[in-house]
Structures are given as C-alpha cells and as structure tokens.
C-alpha cells in the first residue's frame, strides 16, 4: 500500500511525439519515470474528447456509466444542441439558480473520502459544481466564463468593417485625442437580454507603446504593453439593486495605430466572490489565489477562439500558454509543498490547446496554411512545449518518495485535421435528413433551421454523434423500432469506408452503435451512432451546431489544425508510472481501480477496469 499517489495529467499529450522525443533523450524526466516503472499507450474513450475521457478516469466507467458523451448534447424536445457538461436549474422565482453537474457516476475521490483518505485535486474536468471531497478540489474544464459559455472574448477596434463571430463580441471604439472610453462586456441579463457592462477609460501612450486602463476595478490603473498580455483586472458588474458580480479579465494590446485594436479575454470568475462555487471547500479557490496570485478559473483557459478568429497571432497565443502553464505550475508546487498523504492530481490542459493550434505547422501542406501562412519557426512548437511539460514532471517528482505511486498520463493523443465532413449534408444526400420544401443545403443555417422534422430519420450534432428521430423520444419522432434498425443499418453501410473523392482516401473507418461501445445507466442518453474518422479527417465546423452546408467534404481552413475526435484507436494517450505495471492494453477505466488499490481502498461495483499494478 502507498502513502501517496501523485498524478500529473497532460491533456492531449501525443504518444507518437513523446516516444520519438524520449528516444532522442529530449524528455529526461519522463524517461526517468519510464525506467523506474514503465510506459504504455493508454486506451481512450468513445469519443476521444477531454470531458468524456477524464470523466471515465474519474469514475472508472465507460461513458454509459457517467453520462458524458460529448461537449454537446441535444434537447429531444427542441432538437437544439445544449451544453452537455452542466446545466443551470431554477425551480421557481423564489429559489436561487443552481448548477447541476451532468457527469454522473461516483468519482473515486468520493470513495477515498469515505475511507478518510484526503485528496488534493487541481483543475479536474467535469467537476463543476465541485464534488464534495475530504481535502481540496478546484474545478477545471466545465467551469464557464461570466457569460455562462466556454468563453466569450471581446475585441475593441476603431475599424468599422469588423463583424463579430458567434463566439466573440466586437466593440467599435473611437480614439479622441489619446483617449478611448469603452466598456468590458459582462454577463447577460436574462430578463432584458442586454449585457451588463463595466466602464474603462483607456489612455494611449504612443511614445511608450502602451496604454493605461483606468477604471473602478482593481488595480485602478492597469498598464498594457503593445503585443503583451496584461495582468488581471478585477471588474465588477452591477446586476441589480445592491447586487453585483465580479470577474477578472486580461488584455492584449494588438495595435495602437493606424487602427487601435485591443483584445480582452473572456471574463473569468473571480475567486473571492465567484458567481457559483468553483472549489471544495468553497473558500479554497480564493485561499489558493491569496497564495499564488490570481489565475484563470474558466475551464478553457487558453483563448483559442481569439487566435482562431485572427484577433491575435501565434506569438501572443504562445505567450498566453506560458502564462497558463506558470499559473498551473505555481498551484502544483504550492500544493505539493504541503501534501503529505492521499491522492494528488494536477491537470495541465495546455498541451492539448497548444497542439490544436500549432499542429498545422508540422504539415507544410495543411490547408490552413494556404489561408493563414506557414511559419517554419513554429514547426517544433509542440516539441518545445513537451520539454516544458517534462520539466514540470521533474518538479513534481521531487515530492515522490518510496511510498509514492507516481503517474503521468494523457486522456487522448492528437492528430491532424485537414478535411471536414459535413455529416448532416451526407445524411441529407442519402435520404436520412430532409429540408423544408424549396430549401437546399447551404440555405439552412445552424441549429437545424429549415430541417423538416416530419421527414427526417437521423441528424448529426456534436463531434461525430448521430441521433435517430425516434417516435416517443424526439419531439417530432417518426421512426418506429423496425424503421430505426433499417436506418441504423443504412447509415452504417453508407458511412463506413466513405471515401473523400478529392483525395481518394478513406475518411470514415467505421460507425459504432451505442450498444457496442457503451453500457450502464446512462446508455439511453448516448448518441445512437458514433462516427469513427480516419487520420486527417473530422466532422466539419458546420456540423456540431446542426448546420447543413453545401458539399460533403471541405478543407479545414481554420488555424485549429490538429484534432483528436477521430477513431479512438488512432489517438491513445500516454501512461507512465514509477512502478512496473501491466503494459498490455491499459485503458482509462483502469486508473481508478489502480489508484484506489494503491491507497488501500476497494473499488466499487460500477468500476469496469482492473488494478494495473497487480
């Protein structure tokens, strides 16, 4: 039995890159762990996504046991995509709204707590609101920004021709002399649908290439250097009489002239008075901030939307990734410094977020490079980042002693995303999805506008999920059991082995039925079919929110050039332990039993995996 289990999570850490680097002795600390114990590729989940995979890690069950199948799910009453990780509930006007975690099942730290084994858990996904635990827990992916989404940044510009994308706000500003008066955009008022705002006054200091933001926030004067990220500004939005909500925001000054351009990150929860609790105990998030300084609290810390939309460049994104890594490292070092026994976990999300945005530089021919340019300087950005991760692992190893089980793992790997398949368009062309009379693909917007539900047999949303339009389940369901089976078979036959005519390559390897890959109490919530893409392919950008665009295959022109939502067999994670372990087909479901057993706590009946150390 161990006194301590220390787990360092490296989200999206790709085994092929890691193995090559270890072979070249470029990751000495990971190599050290490997030599002490072992290394293996780690089986991931259907589908290979952060919330799905880490929920399986936490509960030791397949997604049918915890109910998280994708970032998005659908409301069968409206067919509209809904956030799958958590939801807000307000039973009536007299009760305050509350957040409900949609990850069900029992995370293994609850079993540890029941046996009086303490845990320190930093930034675990799908624990919002935080799980009660003996010890401390800080929620990770799943914590929204102050507007309630995954993150809405704001772009301030004097250019009048800018249009806001769905995932951002654009504010047109005027420079008067050397001053700009504008506002930070905060949460939406659910009644009036207008935005709450916080006044800021910007003074441009051209000769020093900087601006000074003056406000009622904290600090009252904040300097932002050209091309740099600012420190945090604490802002307060008045949301009612004697009621206010606080948040924190960072700025990146893009340009002073000829046009003034300023980027503001999504407004993160502030730790002292978060809108909803983000830690257990509730005060822990602020206690941590008082020790290590303010930090990103939103689940998606890195502003990949800002880079994807071209609001800032790769250099600024790399800078931000370094800031996030430093924050996380400070958290880890502080907590490891006082960690004596039990379970310790710290997740670094940045390997995933960085690889999504820099994968295209590994492939000069990536379609994204034709639109955004190729810079060979960034071809090794992922490797450079992996070296930083290795240094962090080395730091964590300082807390390892003879009675410690030390684990480094990633939830999935990473691959190329060059071509997208318009899944709803394929369903339309093959007679499974119908549009209203006179409407053609490309004329139907997002959110299944113009879909004729009375004639539709199946529809796709999320990252490769297909739902059948079943009678008695969906609002306008038309399929009975027999017809549903025929539809399933038709889609499986048509999609499996689908070839991209432009490249002559197989885009879809197979289609999985939910009964084949999931089991458990939440099986009925799963998509009916899951599409397993080949390397280089994924669902198109129009598919997740229910778009039916023209054409089947499209080039991926976005800067987000790497992805992992393909056949899970192609994107395993990594697993390293400082003890010899069963290296044959280890999987994410095996981690919970392994950690529990190491700490002398039996697994529960729902857990599907087995102890890798026995």
Partner 1 sequence: MNLFINLFSLMGPLRPPEYLGPETLMPLASILAAIAGFFLLFWRLIVKFFKTLYRKVRGLPDEVPPEVDVDDPTEEEQNK
Least distance (Å) from partner 1 to the CB of residue 323?
6
Q: How far apart are CA 127 and CA 141, in angstroms?
A: 8
- Name the residue with tokens 């046009």: 259
SS3 state of residue 441: coil
Q: Which is nearer to partner 1, 190 or 293 (CB)?
A: 293
Query: Which of residues 22, 323, 461, 511 is near partner 1 by CB under 8 A?
Result: 323
> What residues contact residue 165 under an 8 Å CB cut-off, 6+ apart?
305, 309
Least distance (Å) from partner 1 to the CB of residue 392?
8
Residue 218 binds to partner 1 (criterion: CB under 8 A):
yes
Residue 275 binds to partner 1 (criterion: CB under 8 A):
no
Query: Which of residues 271, 350, 424, 543 is near partner 1 by CB under 8 A?
Result: 271
Window contacting partner 1 (CB under 8 A); options: 192-200, 323-331, 497-505, 543-551: 323-331
Least distance (Å) from partner 1 to the CB of residue 274?
12
Q: How many residues in total does the chain contain?
A: 614
Q: Which is nearer to partner 1, 388 or 555 (CB)?
A: 388
Least distance (Å) from partner 1 to the CB of residue 94?
13
Task: Report the site for partner 1 in 536-555 (rule: CB under 8 A).
Answer: none
Query: Which of residues 275, 289, 466, 554 is near partner 1 by CB under 8 A?
Result: 289
Q: How far apart are CA 467 and CA 579, in angstroms?
A: 43
Q: Which is nearer to partner 1, 388 or 429 (CB)?
A: 388
Query: Which of residues 136, 254, 294, 564 is near partner 1 by CB under 8 A?
Result: 294
Task: Report the site for partner 1 in 393-422 (rule: CB under 8 A).
Answer: 395
Residue 210 binds to partner 1 (criterion: CB under 8 A):
no
Query: Which of residues 80, 175, 391, 505 is near partner 1 by CB under 8 A?
Result: 391
Q: Which is nearer to partner 1, 25 or 194 (CB)?
A: 25
Helices of type H across 101-240: 108-114
Q: How far apart are CA 379 and CA 374, in angstroms?
A: 9
Instruction: Give how far Cα 62 sits from Cα of 44, 53, 438, Å.
Output: 10, 9, 43
Written as six digits, the tokens of 121 are: 């858990």
Residue 313 binds to partner 1 (criterion: CB under 8 A):
no
Helix (H) or strand (E) holding 333: helix 314-337
Residue 228 binds to partner 1 (criterion: CB under 8 A):
yes
Q: How far apart are CA 279 and CA 60, in angstroms?
A: 22
Q: Which is nearer to partner 1, 242 or 605 (CB)?
A: 242
Written as six digits, the tokens of 299 are: 């689940």
Least distance (Å) from partner 1 to the CB of residue 451?
47
Instruction: Give how far Cα 305 sits from Cα of 53, 168, 266, 462, Å.
Output: 23, 8, 10, 18
Count CB neighbours of 402 within 10 A. 6
Window contacting partner 1 (CB under 8 A); options: 48-56, 227-235, 370-378, 542-550: 227-235
Number of residues that bind partner 1 (CB under 8 A): 23
Cα angle 584, 569, 580; round to 5: 20
Q: Which is nearer to partner 1, 391 or 570 (CB)?
A: 391
Helices of type H across 85-150: 108-114
Least distance (Å) from partner 1 to the CB of residue 489?
54
- Name the residue with tokens 């654009």: 170
- Name the residue with tokens 């600012």: 230
Query: Which of residues 230, 297, 469, 532 is near partner 1 by CB under 8 A?
Result: 230
Least distance (Å) from partner 1 to the CB of residue 326?
6
Q: Which is nearer to partner 1, 292 or 575 (CB)?
A: 292
Q: How far apart are CA 50 and CA 57, in angstroms?
A: 10
Q: How far apart are CA 411 and CA 575, in angstroms?
A: 9
Q: Which is nearer to partner 1, 209 or 480 (CB)?
A: 209
Q: Are 349 and 141 in contact (CB under 8 A)?
A: yes
Least distance (Å) from partner 1 to the CB of residue 152?
22
Least distance (Å) from partner 1 to the CB of residue 202?
18
Instruction: Give how far Cα 586 sits from Cα of 249, 277, 323, Å.
Output: 41, 35, 33
Query: Which of residues 121, 138, 292, 396 is near partner 1 by CB under 8 A?
Result: 292
Q: How far apart are CA 391 and CA 385, in angstroms?
A: 10
Query: Which of residues 71, 229, 406, 518 is near partner 1 by CB under 8 A?
Result: 229
* DSSP β-ladder status, 529-533 and 404-409: unpaired
Interface residues with partner 1 (CB under 8 A)? 218, 228-231, 242, 271, 273, 289-294, 323, 326-327, 329-330, 387-388, 391, 395
């Amino acid at each position: 039995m161990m006194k301590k289990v220390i787990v360092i999570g490296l989200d999206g850490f790709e085994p092929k890159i890691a193995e090559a680097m270890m072979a070249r002795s470029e990751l000495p600390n990971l190599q050290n762990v490997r030599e002490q114990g072992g290394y293996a590729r780690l089986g991931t989940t259907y589908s290979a996504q952060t919330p799905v995979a880490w929920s399986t890690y936490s509960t030791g069950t397949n997604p049918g046991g915890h109910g998280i199948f994708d970032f998005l799910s659908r409301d069968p009453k409206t067919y509209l995509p809904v956030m799958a990780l958590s939801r807000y509930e307000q039973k009536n006007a007299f009760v305050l709204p509350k957040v409900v975690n949609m990850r069900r099942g029992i995370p293994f730290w609850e079993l540890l707590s029941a046996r009086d084994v303490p845990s320190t858990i930093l930034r675990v996904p799908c624990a919002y609101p935080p799980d009660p635990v003996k010890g401390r827990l800080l929620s990770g992916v799943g914590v929204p920004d102050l507007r309630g989404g995954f993150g809405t940044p704001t772009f301030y510009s004097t250019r009048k021709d800018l249009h806001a994308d769905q995932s951002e706000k654009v504010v047109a500003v005027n420079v008067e002399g050397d001053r700009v008066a504008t506002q930070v955009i905060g949460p939406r008022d659910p009644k009036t649908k207008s935005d709450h705002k916080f006044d800021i006054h910007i003074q441009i200091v051209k000769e020093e290439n900087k601006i000074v933001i003056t406000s009622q926030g904290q600090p009252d004067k904040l300097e932002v250097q050209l091309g740099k990220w600012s420190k945090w500004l604490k802002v307060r939005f008045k949301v009612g009489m004697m009621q206010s909500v606080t948040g924190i925001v960072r700025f990146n000054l893009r340009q002073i002239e000829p046009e003034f351009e300023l980027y503001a990150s999504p407004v993160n929860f502030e730790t002292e008075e978060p809108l909803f609790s983000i830690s257990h105990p509730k005060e822990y998030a602020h206690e941590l901030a008082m020790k290590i300084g303010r930090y990103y609290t939103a689940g998606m810390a890195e502003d990949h939307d800002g880079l994807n939309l071209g609001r800032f460049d790769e250099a600024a994104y790399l800078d931000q990734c370094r800031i996030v890594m430093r924050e996380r490292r400070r958290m880890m070092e502080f907590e490891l410094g006082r960690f004596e026994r039990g379970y310790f976990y710290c997740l670094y999300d940045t390997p995933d977020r960085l690889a999504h945005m820099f994968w295209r530089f590994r492939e000069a021919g990536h379609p994204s490079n034709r639109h955004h340019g190729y810079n060979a300087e960034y071809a090794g950005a992922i490797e450079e980042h992996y070296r930083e991760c290795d240094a962090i692992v080395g730091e964590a190893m300082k807390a390892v002693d003879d009675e410690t089980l030390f684990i480094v793992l990633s939830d999935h790997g990473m691959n190329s995303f060059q071509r997208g398949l318009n899944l709803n368009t394929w369903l339309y062309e093959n007679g499974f999805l119908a549009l209203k009379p006179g409407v053609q693909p490309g004329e139907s917007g997002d959110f299944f506008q113009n879909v004729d539900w009375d004639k539709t047999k199946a529809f796709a949303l999320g990252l490769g999920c297909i739902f059948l339009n079943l009678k008695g389940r969906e609002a306008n369901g038309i399929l009975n059991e027999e017809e549903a089976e025929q539809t399933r078979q038709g889609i499986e036959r048509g999609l499996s082995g689908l070839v991209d005519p432009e490249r002559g390559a197989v885009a879809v390897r197979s289609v999985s039925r939910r009964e084949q890959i999931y089991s458990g109490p939440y099986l009925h919530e799963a998509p009916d079919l899951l599409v397993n893409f080949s390397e280089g392919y994924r669902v198109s950008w129009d598919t997740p929110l229910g778009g039916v665009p023209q054409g089947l295959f499209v080039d991926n022109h976005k800067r987000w050039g790497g992805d992992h939502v393909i056949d899970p067999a192609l994107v395993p994670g990594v697993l390293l332990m400082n003890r010899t372990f069963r290296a044959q087909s280890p999987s994410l479901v095996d981690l919970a039993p392994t950690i529990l057993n190491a700490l002398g706590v039996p697994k529960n009946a729902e857990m599907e995996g087995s102890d890798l150390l026995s």
